[in-house]
Amino acid sequence: MKFAPNHEYAKVEGNVAVVGISEFAADELGDIADVTFPEVGRVLAQGEPFATLESSKVVQELYAPVSGTVVALNEALNDEPTLINDEAETDGWIIKIEMADPADLEKLAHEDPF
């Protein structure tokens, strides 16, 4: 698992990055009430905004930790967005990206920066 400076993570499964936010970020945001997803098929550049999380404290924009095409959304978050709070780095993932350039991972940290 690799982390971007804004606490987004990329967990690599083959050529697909499972993307979400770190446990630290989930704790800082408070109870997540809503997730706005990108469309499946959308092409993202590393660092590009792709979704928003609305919590009891703030609306937080998320940025793609890697470049590529969105291939899956965690639909379970539509009914239970607090999965992000409870299981941020496992079942609380947000999207999956088929990576365009696995070298993007080299720009990420091995641990959450906080």
**Tell me: the pLDDT tens digits for 5-44?**
999 999 999 999 999 999 999 999 999 999 999 999 999 9
pLDDT digits (tens, 9 = 90+) for 45-94: 999 999 999 998 899 999 999 999 999 999 999 999 999 999 999 999 99
Is 43 part of a structural domain of the chain?
Answer: yes
Is 60 part of a structural domain of the chain?
Answer: yes
Q: What is the pTM of this model?
A: 0.94
CATH number for position 82: 2.40.50.100
Is 18 part of a structural domain of the chain?
Answer: yes
Neighbouring residues of 99: CB distance < 8 A, sequence distance ≥ 6: 12, 15, 16, 17, 66, 67, 68, 105
pLDDT digits (tens, 9 = 90+) for 80-95: 999 999 999 999 999 9
Contact 70, 39 (CB under 8 A): yes
Neighbouring residues of 12: CB distance < 8 A, sequence distance ≥ 6: 2, 18, 99, 102, 105
Is 112 part of a structural domain of the chain?
Answer: no
Look at residue 111 in the predicted model and tell me its pLDDT: 80
Is 22 part of a structural domain of the chain?
Answer: yes
